[in-house]
Structures are given as C-alpha cells and as structure tokens.
Amino acid sequence: MVPTCFTTLVRGLLPAATLAVSLLASPALALEPVAADYQASYMGFSAKGRLSIEAQGGERWKCTLAITHPVANLTQTTVFDELDGRLRPLSGSDASLLLVKKVRRQAVYDWASAEARWSGDVKPERAGPVPLQTGDVDGLLMNLVIARDLPAGRPLRYRLVEDGRAKAMDFSVAGKETLVIGGTPRQATVVVNVHGNRQTLVWIVEGLPLPARILQRKDGRDDIDLRMIAWPQPPGG
C-alpha cells in the first residue's frame, strides 16, 4: 500500500501505504475495472504511479499499485472478492527494486482456516499465522473500503492485517479540500488516521472510483504522497 521501509509505507497507505476512493460510489453500484495515473513523491524522488482494479474471473478482482522511477520500482497487488457486501483480501504480493536490491513478499489470506501467512523476504516472526476476523483488510484494500464506507455514513474503523501482524486503523473526517484532477477542480473529503508518530490521510471525491490522493507522514514529515493527475478510465484506456 523499493526498500523495506517504502514497501511498508505504501502498504500502510494502500497503508506501504499502504499507503485509502470507492470502488462503489454508492452501495448500488457494482465493481468495475478502472485505472488512474498518479504523481508519486517518496524518499525525495518524484515518480510515476498507477493504481488499477481488474476483473480476474470467478468473482475475483485484483488491485495493483505500480510506482516507477529510474532507480526504484514498486509493484503491489491484492487479489480480493466481495462477500456479504464486504471486500475481502485473498492474497497479496510486494515486489520492490532499489538499485540492485530486490525484495519480494507474498501474503495468503486463508478464510477457510481463518489465518493469514506471509512468505518470501520476511522475518520469521512476521510470517504468521495471524488469526483472521470478518472485515479484515490489507493496506491496498483498506483504501478502497474507506471510500465505500464514507458516502454510506459507516464508521471508518478497520482491522489492518499485513506484514505478519494486525492493528486497528480508525479514520476520522478532517475537512474538505479542492483538488485539481485532469485540469478540473474537484471537492474532496479528507479522512485521517493517527497511529503513534504516523499519520495516514486519504482524499475522497464522491463518485470517483479510486483515491484522489494518499499521503503518509512520519514525525510530521511527508514520507509518501500519491496525487491523481488524470480522471480514472478502464485499464488500458
């Protein structure tokens, strides 16, 4: 939601990010394939970003975040489905490259056994298992669920399960802000989570199928910032 620190940041957003707008602007709308381009800022670099949602067949969907820069690349994916109106993670992967350093991780959310496990470049204590609960999300999925819940007036309280642990992520509305997307001003609602010395902020534009902006701060400094630069369209469009 690149080096370990950046992967963690975006998953936390999206959380490592990490680094939260709605696949559904209202509960009546169905999931649809969509993609948008972003301007990404992290570690002092300016990079290109792309966030997409694609149908996988069999009621499964895939959300992908790709960030590219001449010295660093990050690709994160979450495969998910929808059950009883909830978006539910099934598997995830992180692949990052900084200069010559490669990091790869995989996650499996086994709902039959109600456990999540991690493999690849992970520490033994972060391999799991972590018990799963109804409503659990990973970082990428959390950002999609936030936008789904905000227009419906639901509490923005989530249990984030990733990187071998689970933690509560409660968001509150911080205000309104106008963003310019593809040359057009759009009013966004800003929601924020504060967790220790970290802040995660998400900008939600009503009717927009993906986050308009995602920002994570640490110790009051911006760690990663994703800003949508063009209105979403079908993948490949």
Between 231 and 237, the more confident residue is: 231
Q: Which of 44-48, 69-73, 97-101, 187-191: highest mean pLDDT?
A: 187-191
Q: What would the pLDDT profile of 156-186 be if each residue is shown by its tens digit?
A: 999 999 999 999 999 999 999 999 999 999 9
Label the pairing between strands 130-131 and 157-162.
Answer: unpaired
Q: What would the pLDDT profile of 126-150 be if each residue is shown by its tens digit?
A: 998 999 999 999 999 998 888 788 8
What domains are defined for the chain? 4-228 (2.50.20)
Phi and psi angles of residue 160, each rounded to the nearest 5 degrees, phi first: -90, 120
The answer to which of 68-82, 109-123, 127-141 has the lowest mean pLDDT is 68-82
CB atoms within 10 A of CB 100: 5
Task: Report, in this order, helix, strand and coil percent for the chain, each rounded to 5.
Answer: 10, 55, 35
The answer to which of 26-40, 47-61, 209-223 has the lowest mean pLDDT is 26-40
The mean per-residue pLDDT over the stretch 66-82 comes to 88
What's residue 104's pLDDT?
92
What's residue 237's pLDDT?
63
3-state secondary structure at position 146: helix
What's residue 43's pLDDT?
66
- Rounded to an integer, what is the distance from CA 152 to the centroid of its chain? 20
Between 24 and 93, the more confident residue is: 93
What's residue 27's pLDDT?
45
The mean per-residue pLDDT over the stretch 13-40 comes to 57
Helices (H), the chain: 4-11, 139-152
pLDDT at position 92 over 90: yes
| Whole-prediction pTM | 0.84
Model confidence band, residue 78 (pLDDT cutoffs 50, 70, 90)? very high
CA distance 199 to 221: 9
What's residue 76's pLDDT?
93
Percent of the chain predicted with pLDDT > 70: 86
* Averaged pLDDT of the chain: 84
CA distance 105 to 23: 26
What's residue 99's pLDDT?
66
What's residue 179's pLDDT?
95
Percent of the chain predicted with pLDDT > 90: 54
Question: Nearest Cα to 102, choosing from 7, 224, 216?
Answer: 7
CB-facing half-sphere around the CA of 68: CA atoms within 13 A: 6
